[in-house]
Structure 1
């Protein structure tokens, strides 16, 4: 399973105004658990996105923004959990 299959926020391209459209979201507990499983992480504690989608040339869409996450992964040396932001 890939991140695109786990975490998706579709936007109808025909509704994007010339000025762009802003979208903010926070991953649900189920989405975070599925992402952790898909990427072999101990835990995804949080995942948020603040994005702007705007119309590009020839029907394309440009998406800019920031995605942030707090995760826990296993250290490859000590096998202890390591927190990352």
Structure 2
């Protein structure tokens, strides 16, 4: 992976993690964890969208939307697990 690709991955992850935290009403964890959640969310989003046969356009906007959907799913699951362990 090139340096440019890594920077784009981090920016998409950061934006997706931040958006997911906003959409989930403050369930984010801060900048660095949100980047990680956004990056992992991109994989989750790709997997879920593939299962549902839904294609969101290409490019950086499509990547951000896809990663945000995956990050929201991931944050939801994390919050369910946190509530179950209390």
Relative to the length of structure 1, the TM-score reads 0.28
Structure with the larger strand share: 1
Query: Which is bigger in relative contact order (C-alpha 8 A, separation at least 6)?
Result: 2
Which structure would you say has the larger Rg? 1
Relative to the length of structure 2, the TM-score reads 0.28
Structure with the larger helix share: 2
